[in-house]
Amino acid sequence: MEIQEGTLSKIAYLLILLIWLIGAALTGVGAYLFLETREIGTCINDELAPLMVVLIAIGGVLLVTAMLGLIGVCKKKSVLLSGFLAAMIIALLAQFAAVVIMFIFESSVRYYMQDGMSHSLLFYGKGGDNAKFTESWDYVQKNHKCCGQYGWADYTTPNASNWHSTNFGSLPDTCCKTKTDKCGLNVIDKSDLKKAPAGMYLEGCYEILEDYIKNWMTIAGSGALVFMFVQVMAIFLNISLQRRYREHEDYQLQSKKVKQVKDAQPDVQRPGISV
């Protein structure tokens, strides 16, 4: 049984509205993750932020594309729906590529994090151009309640951090559970470096950040797959709707041409028949 055009239009409108909301959600989540990865990216790896920019771009495209589709359904214009369908197919392909890249990156996140964190921790405590590493590590340790890459002992190891050469016996203040000025000063027992200092975060940031990033990437990737299913449904519905609108427009155009032809013809009087 064929669906009535009015019912089909309502379903298509609701699906496109849902896509608009999805676009808004992707843009918002992408912006949040971009700001978050920009803070922790220097500590982990600077390649995270560009992935979030892609997410924001896809969300923005969906917002604009959905508006085009909503106007097309409201105005019953096949040309607007054609533009919506073309843009939606391109956005769908871009999303698919982004999801594939995201899941590939998720499987390699351990390598990127280990290398990035080991490198950046070497510059912790240095100023100048290297101050960005200290700022990033301080943000991570404060907000994720951790200390060092694999634990607080990283700051007592010469090969793990520059901190050892200038602040041996102390830990960064951002490793303190209760933040006060110089709360990490001389908290390490130099006679027993294996003894855990009191009042400090002891767990390393590596595993905490790995779980944090993987969880977000799993949520984003799984959500994108669900969103793509909604988009595919909207595409098929709007293909049918676009075809009907096109048929109506062709019929109206043909009727207008016929009327113009009739109006252009002069009235022909039949001659009278004389008897």
Greater pLDDT, 37 or 84: 84
pLDDT of residue 1: 43
Quote the Cα angle for 202-138-210, to 5°: 65
Residue 274 has pLDDT above 50, yes or no: no
Q: Stretch 187-210: mean pLDDT, rounded?
A: 89
Nearest Cα residue to 156 out of 143, 138, 183, 175: 175
Q: Which two tokens stand for residue 210?
A: 């790995």
Residue 69 has pLDDT above 80, yes or no: yes
Q: Are the beta carbons of 122 and 262 closer than 8 angstroms?
A: no
Residue appearing with tokens 């028949």? 273
How confident is residue 275, by pLDDT bands cut at 50, 70 and 90?
Answer: very low
Average pLDDT along the chain:
81
Per mean pLDDT, which of 37-46, 130-139, 232-241 is the most reliable? 130-139
Q: Stretch 259-269: mean pLDDT, rounded?
A: 66
Residue 22 has pLDDT above 80, yes or no: yes
User: 82-91 — which CB contacts under 8 Å span 24+ positions?
Assistant: 82/242, 84/16, 84/238, 85/235, 85/238, 85/239, 85/242, 87/61, 88/19, 88/231, 88/234, 88/235, 88/238, 89/235, 91/58, 91/61, 91/62, 91/65, 91/231
Residue appearing with tokens 């009739």? 262
Residues 132-164 pLDDT 10s? 888 999 999 999 999 999 999 888 887 767 787
Q: Stretch 208-232: mean pLDDT, rounded?
A: 82
Q: Are the beta carbons of 120 and 136 closer than 8 angstroms?
A: yes
Q: Stretch 74-80: mean pLDDT, rounded?
A: 83
pLDDT of residue 4: 67
Give the number of other CB atoms < 10 A from CB of residue 166. 10
Least confident of 189-203, 226-240, 259-273: 259-273
Residue 269 has pLDDT above 60, yes or no: no
Residues written for the chain:
275
pLDDT of residue 65: 87
pLDDT of residue 171: 92
pLDDT of residue 204: 93
pLDDT of residue 215: 84
Q: Stretch 80-100: mean pLDDT, rounded?
A: 84
Q: Which two tokens stand for residue 128?
A: 């100048």
pLDDT of residue 200: 94
Q: How far is CA 238 from the centre of its chain?
A: 25
Q: Stretch 27-36: mean pLDDT, rounded?
A: 82
